Structure 1
Amino acid sequence: MTPLNALMCTLAACKCITARIHAEKQGIRLHDIKVSCNGVHDAAAFFGAKDAIPGFTEIKTTYQIKADNTPEEIERFSKFVDQNCPIGYTLQNPPKMASTLEPWID
């Protein structure tokens, strides 16, 4: 598994957990849910291609939701999950990042 694969698994798991936690509160009678996430990226960037982007340029989530609700209610719920998933939020609103370099200690 590559780190990018791990990120997609993390995003899908977070959306699944978000759905499970909020289903009842949102009036969704959830029986089962499957979430998969796939991203588009150019691996050439990792190997030094100057004209390639080193991360995802697109991420798509696919939901399969088994619930005793109307298709419209399930659609609204999937949008709620997208808006309330912490990993999804972080990807859409990247935090400030910083790095430090510390001396090697044997």
Structure 2
Amino acid sequence: MSDEPSAREPGEDARIDALEERLRAAREREEERSRPALGAEADANYRMGNRVLAELIGGIGGGALIGWVVDEVIGWFTGKAQHGGLVVVMVLGIVVAFRNIIRIANRRPD
């Protein structure tokens, strides 16, 4: 055997070709497996839906929490608990949440 590339054994090229074919097939399978199923557009829609849901839950929950705190503070000073603050601030939270949802829906896609 010599160090020249032309002096290969006859079966060596077949083994290299078979290895290259298996590597190509493995790369194709990996690309197919790692490709997103529905594409980037579905992922963007999923994120937008989660953001809308978070706005709605945050508006209602945040308004209810702040309203409850307001009612408790007023109740400490007056000696009786009333739920007017809870209702008013929760409605404001819902209004703000819907305003944000409308702004998200009207935003033009990039």
TM (norm. structure 2) is 0.31
Higher relative contact order (CA 8 A, sep 6+): 1
More strand by share: 1
**Which structure: larger Rg?**
2
TM (norm. structure 1) is 0.32
More helix by share: 2
